[in-house]
Structure 1
Amino acid sequence: MDRQIEKTFNVPFRHRLLFTRGVFNPENQLLADLLHAYRPGVSVKTLFVLDSGVQKAHPGLENAIQTYCGKYPEQMKCADVLVVPGGESAKNSEGPTNRVLKAIENHGICRHSVVVAIGGGAVIDMAGYAAAIAHRGVQLIRIPTTVLAQNDAAVGVKNGINFYGKKNFLGTFAVPQAIINDRDFLETLEDRDWIAGSAEAVKVALIKDAPFFEFLEREAQALRRRDPGPMQELIFRCAELHMEHIAGGGDPFEAGSSRPLDFGHWSAHKLEHLTGYGLRHGEAVALGMALDVRYSHRLGMLEPRETQRILDLLTNLGFDLHLPDLGPDGSQNLLQGLEEFREHLGGVLTITLLEGIGRKRDVHEIDRDIMAAAIAEMQPGKTANKAS
């Protein structure tokens, strides 16, 4: 007779996002306290992975990290500060990942050590992936330094790199020990990165929170001129909504096919690839949302007034809603992103569309002719910020 052993077990996770200023100011004990709480009475060996763009914008940061570690020798021991390329290049080859893995090996980073990733979303993703596959999982602390990373990319439990020309083809799910948002890093961002990060806030407002969308409408000009108060509220509420979904949505590791937090992303991922990652992720998401909003409108799901409000908000925040020139076959190439998205999700194609601001609906089929017409509305030379 065939025999079988089966057990069910649960593993609790604690997902923490902490807000501060001057995380490496020696008087700020937050990071030291986190490491002490992780392993009381032990000086935790810590490998810092630093985005080269952040290093350039903050030329004294490496010394500040070393000084900070020196201030708290009972809590932490700095193994190294490894500088890696910033931007999507961090994820587009195995080189940066292998450098992090080599540093983990060279410095004897073990499962009781910690990797601290400091940078934009791409570096956070890459370093997190390296940490997750080393020794089957080294502890990770994320210190995101862009709007997009602080309100979205670093808030999730995913890590990954691009492979075979596909976004996040290699990756893991791993809950970080903590995420630390330091608002001071945002002060040195280029305007383009400041603006791009707000796309994910619009996304989560559209699918989950109409009052948050109204806040973004009211504060659009203040956000565009870089007022720190509204931006901190944007980051906090956006991150809060993401974390509520992860913790309470019933599918933190995305075993199902529905991905409401990927609204606008099926075409965004393809646009990034088609443009050689010349688009920022947030810029691609804004275009992807505008496209799916137009498609929802053409299906009769979304009223004209709400369609125009969404397009106006994206424009007022500073996004150009014209698609980049993708060549004569651009529309068909972009539509290939639907199958790639289905493959990435697994199972049946599931695309999130809008029935209203704050109200979503998942669909499992896309009318390619209607979507192609929506794409045509956003081509260069068209009035891309007006509903039709």
Structure 2
Amino acid sequence: MNTKISAQKTNIRQSFTLPVAYDVYFTEDLFAPANPTFKQVFSRKTEKKLKLLFVVDSGLLEKTPGLQEKIRTYCEDILQLEDLPDPIILPGGEESKNNLDHVTSVLDQINKYGISRHSFVVAIGGGAVLDAAGFAAGIAHRGVRLIRVPTTVLSQNDSGVGVKNGINWYNKKNFLGTFTPPFAVINDQQFLRTLEERDWRGGISEAVKVALIKDRNFFDWIKNDTERLVNRDNESMQYLIYRCAELHLKHISSGDAFETGSSRPLDFGHWAAHKLEQFTNYSLRHGEAVAIGIALDCVYSWKTGLIKKSTCDEVLQLLWNLGFRLYTPELLRSEGKEFEVLEGLQEFREHLGGDLTIMLLEEIGVGKEVHQIDQEKMKESILFLEKEDQKIGAS
């Protein structure tokens, strides 16, 4: 038998698809004994043994006395769990993403308690804590099942329902991370009552973002319900979160979920936002930075003829009515004649490794991708926001 292989026949190409499905639940008072939601999440698992490791946001614990005891009681009485490890407490806010030690602390406990690929890491907190815990879960054993319980407007309507996680490295936002779809996401509206005013309002910017590029009717609804949203009307916020999450998930299922191309439409306004967060040492919160980034890209869209000034004014007015400042001095931070925020354009391109692709606005509800940015026009746009901010301050 001749076993010699011709050089022309040595290449083998493999191709396969992997089905991905996860549920996003909407509930209230998740760990109340009478609430079946958390137990229902595990109906999809096939293993008899249930093993959980909780990671909880320290800020949430401060504002929710008794939460740890409530979780333990639910797990022991309703899920019949034995030997539940104490939860890992991570600092709330961007601190959890700026220090690799927090990821390591989760990995240490995954190792210590024998959390396997058929076990569950349950992350409860704001988007930064979910990112850090999700990154640890994504790299342990090449992927431990992750359940996200986002507790802020921002994470419930945007980051918490998606497939990405990451931490900051080399002074770059989300430089380290993975694409790891969660096993499930649970939005508990009761946690929103613990939020400070800035965090309640901040998450609305992501809803404005997705409405601007995907749904004019949703944008109009936000305009009409602005007063109720600002006054913390729970029913209005629940609709905003649901619709925003729905649009986010629809995009993931119909587009490039793992960003193999150069397009990131859901990051409209984010190229500048990420740099502004860094420049302010994250004292400017993500939602606030995104509002400024949206405003900047809308002004640039007007300056380059993509939209009318009246359209730009309509967007800026909504953001102001929602309580956002649309300028920060860090926009003018410069090295020589160059505004340093423009470095965000290059970092945006590097993050994907392809062509520069920036989402701008063609009309409200319709985004338009461009592959070049006129930096002089962008500088004009920054200076426009500075002047508008001065007018508001003087009024």
Same fold? TM cut 0.5: yes
| Counterpart pick for 2:191 among 185, 188, 195 | 185
Q: How far apart are residue 385 of structure 1 and its match?
A: 7.1
Task: Report the residue type matching 1:184 in the other structure.
Answer: Q
Deviates more, 1:316-325 or 1:231-240: 316-325
| 1:91 aligned counterpart, secondary structure | helix
1:382, CA displacement in angstroms?
A: 3.9
SS of alignment partner, residue 288 of structure 1: helix
| Correspondent of 2:368 among 358, 361, 366 | 361
Deviations 1:103-157 (A, max 9, x none): 1011111111100000000000110000000000000000000000000010110
298, 301, 306: which one aligns with 2:303: 298
Find out whether 1:352 has 2:359 as its counterpart: yes
* Cα distance in 2 between the residues matched to 1:8 and 1:276: 44
CA gap 1:384/1:74 in 2 versus in 1, 3 angstroms: farther
Residue 4 of structure 1, CA deviation: 1.8
Matches within 5 A, 1:159-178: 159-178=165-184
Q: Which of residues 5, 12, 17 in structure 1 aligns to 2:24?
A: 17
User: Which residue of the partner structure matches residue 3 of structure 2?
Assistant: none
Q: How does 1:33-182 map to 2 (within 5 A)?
A: 33-39=40-46, 42-74=48-80, 78-182=84-188
Unaligned runs of 5+ in 2: 1-5
What is the CA–CA distance in structure 2 between the aligned matches of 1:56 and 1:281, rounded to whole Å?
A: 21
Q: Name 2:14's counterpart in structure 1.
A: 7
Aligned-residue offset at 1:6: 1.9
Contact kept? 1:322, 1:378, Cα under 8 Å: yes
| Contact in 1 for aligned 2:333/2:341 (Cα 8 Å) | no
Counterpart of 1:287 in 2: which secondary structure?
A: helix
CA distance in 2, matches of 1:122, 1:182: 17
Q: Which runs of 5+ in 1 are unaligned?
A: none
1:378 partner SS: helix
Deviates more, 1:23-32 or 1:278-287: 23-32
How far, CA to CA, are the matches of 2:65 and 2:102 in structure 1?
Answer: 21
Corresponding residue of 2:233: 227
Asked if 1:278 corresponds to 2:260, the answer is: no
Q: How many pairs were matched up?
A: 384
1:37 alignment partner AA: R
Cα distance in 2 for partners of 1:29, 1:39 equals: 19
1:261 to 263, 266, 281: 266
Q: Deviations over 1:62-88 (max 9, x none)?
A: 001110111134467623311111100
Q: Given the alignment of the two structures, is residue 339 of structure 1 paired with residue 353 of structure 2, yes or no?
A: no
Distance apart, 1:359 and its partner CA: 1.1
Looking at structure 2, the residues matched to 384 and 208 of structure 1 have their Cα atoms a distance apart, in angstroms, of 31
Q: Aligned partner of 2:232: which letter?
A: R
Kept after mapping to 2: 8 A contact 1:268/1:281? yes
TM-score, L = length of structure 2: 0.94
Aligned partner (choices 184, 205, 208) of residue 211 of structure 2:
205
Q: 1:161 to 1:177 in 2, by over 3 A?
A: same
Distance 1:242 1:32 in 2: 26
Answer with 78-87 or 44-53: which moved more. 78-87
Q: How far did 1:39 drift? A: 3.1
| Cα drift, residue 98 of structure 1 | 0.6
Cα distance in structure 1, aligned partners of 2:155 and 2:388: 32
Deviation at 1:32, TM superposition (A): 1.6
Deviation track 1:289-345 (CA, whole Å, cap 9, x = no partner) reads 000000000011111111111001111111011223456517611111110111112
Task: Give the TM-score normalised by the residue count of structure 1.
Answer: 0.96
Cα separation, partners in 2 of 1:178 and 1:346, compared to 1, 3 Å: same
d(CA) in 1 for partners of 2:41, 2:391: 47
Q: What secondary structure is seen at the aligned counterpart in 2 of 1:258?
A: coil
Give the fraction of aligned pairs with identical amino acids, expressed as a percent.
Answer: 52
What is the alpha-carbon distance in structure 2 between the residues aligned to residue 326 and residue 230 of structure 1? 33
Q: Distance in 1 between matches of 2:16 and 2:347?
A: 33
User: For the residues of structure 2 that align with 1:384 and 1:13, how far apart are their CA atoms?
Assistant: 50
Q: Which has the larger radius of gyration?
A: 2
Partner residue in 1 for 2:221: 215
Taking only aligned residues, the RMSD between alpha carbons, in angstroms, comes to 1.7
- What SS does structure 2 have at the residue aligned with 1:175? coil
Partner SS, residue 39 of structure 1: coil
Cα gap change, 1:68/1:328 in structure 2, threshold over 3 Å: closer, same or farther?
Answer: closer
CA distance in 2, matches of 1:177, 1:202: 27
